[in-house]
Structure 1
Amino acid sequence: MDHEQTYDRRPRRRGRKLLIGFVVLLLVLVGLVVIADRVAASVAERRIADEVRQQVARQQAQSSPPEVEVGGFPFLTQVVDGRYERITIRMRDVQGAVQGDAISLPSLDVDARNVRASLDTLRTGQGDVVAETVNGTATISYQSLAALLDREGLTLGERNGQLAVTAPLEVLGQRLTVTGVADIVVSDEGQIALRFADLDAEGLPSAPLARTLLNNFARSISVDVPLPELPFQLTVREVLPQPQGLTVTADARDVPINSVG
C-alpha cells in the first residue's frame, strides 16, 4: 500500500515542477520584453531631445538640454501604430532673441498629446513628427519682472491671487510706501502686459498733485512683458500669479515637433 501511495505522488510532483519552471520562464521572457521596451523608449527619447534642441535653435532661442519622457506602455506597440499617447518635454532657462530686454523663463514644461510619427520617419529621419495638441506651462520669476520695471526697492509678488506691487516713492518731500495690484492683460497674439491702476500709499497728501504723481508712477511701471518666442508655435492663453512667480499657460494644435523632410 505504501509503495502504491509513493508511486501516485511522483507524477504530481513532476507536474508541479514543470508548472513552476514554465512560470519562471514566462516571467523571464516578460522581463526581457519590458527591458527591450524601455531601451527602445530611451532611444526614442534621446532622438526626440535632439530634434527639440534643433527646433529651439531654429527659432533663435536657447535653453538647457531638453529632458524628454515618452509616456504610455508598451512603447513598442505605439511604434508599430505610429501614434504616441504622450510626450513630455522639460526645458530650463529658456531665452530668445528679441529686441530690447527679454524675460527669461526659468522653466518651460511642454506636454504633447497624440503624437504621430511613422516607423519609417523614426528609422530614416525623413518626415514629420506632429503633435495633435501641445500644452506648455512656464514660470516667470517676480525678480526678473521687477528688474524689467527697473525701480529701486520695488518688489512684486502674489497676494490673494493677484499680482501685487510694493515700492518706495517720494511725494511732495515725503517718502511713502506705495502698494497695489496690477491687471494682467493677454492679447489675442499672446503678448502679456502689466497695467498698474489701483495704487495707494498710506499718508498720501490730499493735494491733487500728490495723486497725480502717484498715477504717473503707476503708468511708468505699466509695461509690456517681452517674452522670448516660445517653441512649438505655442501661444500664451492665460497668466496667473502664483507664490513662486507668474505661471504662463500656452497651447497649440497640429504642431510639428521637428522640421525634418
Structure 2
Amino acid sequence: MAQEYPAGDARPRRRGRKLLIGLVVLLLVVGGLLVVADRVAVGVAERLIADRVSQEVSKQGAQAAAPKVEVAGTPFLTQVLDGRYERISIQLRDVQASVEGDAVRLPVLDVDARNVRASLDTLRTGQGDVVADTVNGTGTISYDSLAALLNRPGLTLGEQGGKLAVTAPVDVLGQNFTVSGTADVTVAENGAVALRFSNLDAEGLPNLPLARAVLNNYAKGISVDVPLPDLPFQLAVREVRPLPEGLAVTADAKDVPINSAG
C-alpha cells in the first residue's frame, strides 16, 4: 500500500524547486546578457581604435589597408572601468611609405601593444590618447621594394641559406656576366638597414685583376645603408633578417600613443 503524504508537505517542496529553477534560469539569462554586452563593447572599442590607428598611419605619410584590431582579455567591461587593457593587437596590411621617392612596401605589419591605457571618457567621446606601455612590431619588407632602393638595373634580391642573396647583370671588360653573392644585413645606428656585400662572383669571369676589381667595385656600390620609412607608433627597428618572403623587420617602442590626438 502506497504511503500518503500530507498535501501541505508536497506543495512547498514543488514551489521551492520551481523557485530554484527560476533563479538558475534568471542567472543564466543575466549572465548571457552580460556576455553579449561585453562582446558588443569590445566591438565598439576595436572599431574606435581602428579608426584612430588609420589616422595615425596617414599622419605619418604612409598608406595601408583598414587595420584589423583585436582587444584581448576578459571580461572587457572590467578593463574599461579600470582604464587599462592587457593587450591590443593591430594588423596592418599593404603598408607603403616613400623613401627618397621610392616606395617601400610591407605586405603585413603586426603590432602588439601591451598594458594600454585609455580612459572611459576617451572611449566614449573618441577624444584623448590611447597609450601603450610597450609596442612590438614585426613586418616583412618585400625584396622588390628593397631592390628598387638600390637602383641597379636588373638587380634581384632573395634569401639563400639565411642570408640576403643578390643576382645582377654586370658589364665586365665589355662582356655581360651574371653576378651573384650574399650580403651581411644589420641595423645601422641611424635605424637604416646596412647591406654589406662581399665575395661576389660570376661564372666565366676572366681571371684578371681588372675583372676582379670591377666586381669588387660593384659590390661596394650596392653595400649601402638603406633608409627605412618612419614606422607607425614610433617603432624603432632592432633586427632585420632575410626570409624567403622578404626581409623580416623587428621593431619596438615604449610609452607610445597608438592614436592621434583628438
Tell me if both proteins adopt one fold, taking TM over 0.5 as the criterion.
Answer: yes
Counterpart CA distance in 1 for 2:140 and 2:243 is: 9
Task: Please give the residue correspondences for 1:216-255 in structure 2 after superposition, counting only pairs within 5 Å.
Answer: 216-255=217-256
- Match for residue 202 of structure 2? 201
Secondary structure of 1:45's match? Answer: helix
Q: 1:98 to 1:206 in 2, by over 3 A?
A: closer
8 Å CA contact retained: 1:59, 1:229: yes
Q: What does residue range 24-103 of structure 1 map to in structure 2 within 5 Å?
A: 24-103=25-104
CA contact (8 A) 1:189 1:235 kept: no
Q: Which amino acid aligns with 1:2?
A: A
Task: Specify the SS of the correspondent of 1:103.
Answer: strand
Return 94-103 or 107-116, whichever deviates more: 94-103
C-alpha distance in 2 between matches for 1:69 and 1:223: 38
Q: CA deviation at 1:167?
A: 2.4
Contact 1:125 1:260 in 2 (8 A): no
Shift in CA distance, 249/25, structure 1 to aligned 2, threshold 3 Å:
same
Question: Considering only aligned residues, what root-mean-square deviation do their CA atoms show, in Å?
Answer: 2.4
Distance, in Å, in 2 between the alignment partners of 1:57 and 1:144 is 20
- Matching residue of 1:214: 215
Within 5 A, what are the aligned runs for 1:66-215? Answer: 66-215=67-216
Compared CA separation, residues 11 and 203, structure 1 to 2 (3 A)? farther
User: TM-score, normalization: structure 1?
Assistant: 0.89
Larger mean Cα displacement after TM superposition, 84-93 or 180-189: 180-189
Unaligned runs of 5+ in 1: none
Mark the CA change 1:3 to 1:128 in structure 2 (over 3 Å): closer, same or farther.
same
Deviation per CA, 1:160-203, whole angstroms, max 9, x where unpaired? Answer: 21111122334335443322111213123321122212312233
**Cα offset, 1:109, TM superposition:** 1.3
Specify the alignment match of 2:4 in structure 1: 4
Distance 1:170 1:10, change over 3 A: farther
- In structure 2, C-alpha distance between the alignment counterparts of 1:82 and 1:143, rounded to whole Å: 43
Q: CA deviation at 1:218?
A: 1.1
Q: Find the residue that maps to 1:247 and give its secondary structure.
A: strand
Does the Cα contact within 8 Å between 2:167 and 2:179 map onto a contact in 1? yes
Choose 208-217 or 121-130, whichever is displaced more. 121-130
Gapped regions of structure 2 (runs ≥ 5): none
Q: Residues 215 and 37 (structure 1 numbering): CA distance in 2 closer, same or farther, change over 3 Å?
A: same
Q: CA deviation at 1:124?
A: 3.2
On the 8 A contact 1:181/1:198 being kept in 2, the answer is yes
Q: Percent identity, aligned pairs only?
A: 72
- Residues 171/119 of structure 1: CA separation in 2 closer, same or farther (3 Å cut): same
Report the residue type matching 1:89 in the other structure: I
Report the TM-score when normalising by structure 2: 0.88
CA distance 1:96–1:153, change in 2 (3 Å) = closer
Deviation by residue 1:130-173 (Cα, 9 ceiling, x = unmatched): 10001111111112223333444432211121111122334335
Does the 8 Å CA contact 2:48/2:126 hold for their aligned counterparts? Answer: no
Q: How many residues are treated as equivalent by the alignment?
A: 261
Name the amino acid aligned to 1:240: R
C-alpha deviations, 1:183-237, integer Å up to 9, x for none? 2131233211222123122332211011111112212323332422111111111
Q: For residue 157 of structure 1, what is the amino acid of its counterpart?
A: G
